[in-house]
Amino acid sequence: MNQITVLGATGSIGVSTLDVIEQHSHEYNIFALTGNKKIPLLAEQCAKFNPKYAVVVDAEAAADLVSLLTQNHVSTQVLVGTDALASVSSHEDVDIVMAAIVGSAGLIPTLAAASAGKKVLLANKESLVMAGNLLMQAADKSGATLLPIDSEHNAIFQCLPRDIKSLSKGGVSKLLLSASGGPFRGWSLGDMGEVTQEQACAHPNWSMGQKISVDSATLMNKGLELIEACWLFDVTCDQVDIVVHPQSIIHSLVQYVDGSVLAQMGNPDMRTPIAHALAWPNRITSGVSDLNLAEIARLDFEEPDLVNFPSLGLAYEAARVGLDAPVVLNASNEIAVQAFLDGRIGFTQIAEVVADTMAHAIFKEPDSLSGVQESDKEARARSAEIILRVQR
């Protein structure tokens, strides 16, 4: 029986993960579940999966959760805080950790899982963007296996040659990262000035949490994924091409020196990469329906639009600069996306805030976790100041 901790169990990826696990309950057992605000859902999940521990971030949420669990005679023990998130990620009884907390809050528990040698199913791309070096080193040292959940990276992983450390030795010439283009594909910056939170979160193909939905609309998501790919597959950003493919059927591709291009395809449903990574190197069912190519009928491709989606260009810049530029990019984006979701700034101001924050940053090497945290904190403070100046 594999023992699993699901970080971010109440989110979009968390719920899909529990759906796959429920289909294979004779092979996977839940050790711990974590959540933040959705306490009734977390209580329901505890009643169903009966984990040993449930972790929440603050004391008030913990009190609410304890009361719901007691009412329903659920014996799950409730823990609170970041240290508890790290301890259920690194606990000796745990085999697999699904890292599906959104944003920088996922960094500490993800790093704890990687340092403890777990099989880490990595959805929380922000932790790689912030601390790719530390995470990859921790996994190397402990023997942890990092398996990408992000559909594009999971696709690339599936199309790469097995057991080859250096991609060039395996004959790989390029990684082709698919992008749907988001809800505003084909729009001009002027058209996007007044879009609402609902419009930005209404992704044409995927149903996801709010933050990644807004990132998909600005194309910052693809920028974060570019940096994620560089760390996961040990390539430079010039070895990754972004191809816009509006149907989201081809999840990404790998090009080989002989002209072969391998693609991974499937319906856009995160249960496919989740099931793939859970069972890897085996395969299990996911509940995703079979791909009907005749019904899909056509697959389209185009170049990304860097003019009307400046966030993507900013991510390229951060990837090329290196140092702590990705930390600054990520922190500033998190603050700006939240300000947009709170109605304080407009959609196109997200990229303006990030650009302004990046323009005034003095980049330095973040050689430790505390260095990363310091850069993160400084960039957040700078972005918050910019937002105060420009907000509506």
Report how far apart, in Å, the C-alpha atoms of 110 and of each of 2, 59, 90 are: 18, 22, 9
Strands 250-256, 261-265: parallel, antiparallel or unpaired by DSSP? antiparallel
360 is an interface residue for ligand NDP by CB under 6 A: no
Query: Binding mask 130-169 vs ligand NDP (x if CB under 6 A, - otherwise)?
Result: --------------------x-------------------
101 is an interface residue for ligand NDP by CB under 6 A: yes
CB of 258 to ligand NDP, least distance (A): 31
> What is the rounded distance in angstroms from the CA atom of residue 12 to the CA atom of residue 19?
11
The partner in contact with residue 12, picked from ligand NDP, Mg ion, none with C-beta cut-offs of 5 to 8 angstroms by kind, is ligand NDP
Tokens standing for 170? 């395996």
187 is an interface residue for ligand NDP by CB under 6 A: no
325 is an interface residue for ligand NDP by CB under 6 A: no
Identify residues 260-279 at the interface with ligand NDP (CB under 6 A): 270
Q: What SS3 class is residue 232?
A: helix
3-state SS of 118-134?
A: CEEEECCHHHHHHHHHH
> What is the rounded distance in angstroms from the CA atom of residue 113 to the CA atom of residue 299?
38
CB of 122 to ligand NDP, least distance (A): 9
**CB contact at 8 A, 109 and 7:** yes
Identify residues 12-51 at the interface with ligand NDP (CB under 6 A): 12-14, 35-38
Instruction: Give the H or E element holding residue 55.
Output: strand 53-56
Of the candidates 150, 215, 269, 356, which one interacts with Mg ion according to CB under 5 A? 150
CB of 7 to ligand NDP, least distance (A): 7
100 is an interface residue for ligand NDP by CB under 6 A: yes
**CB contact at 8 A, 116 and 142:** yes
Give the distance from CA 23 to its chain's centroid: 23
Q: What SS3 class is residue 287?
A: coil
Looking at the DSSP assignment, which residues form a beta bridge with residue 2?
28
105 is an interface residue for ligand NDP by CB under 6 A: yes
Identify residues 296-315 at the interface with ligand NDP (CB under 6 A): none
CB of 120 to ligand NDP, least distance (A): 13
What does the binding site for Mg ion look like in residue numbers (CB under 5 A)? 150-152
What residue ranges bind ligand NDP (CB under 6 A)? 8-14, 35-38, 57, 100-102, 105, 123-126, 150, 206, 208-212, 270
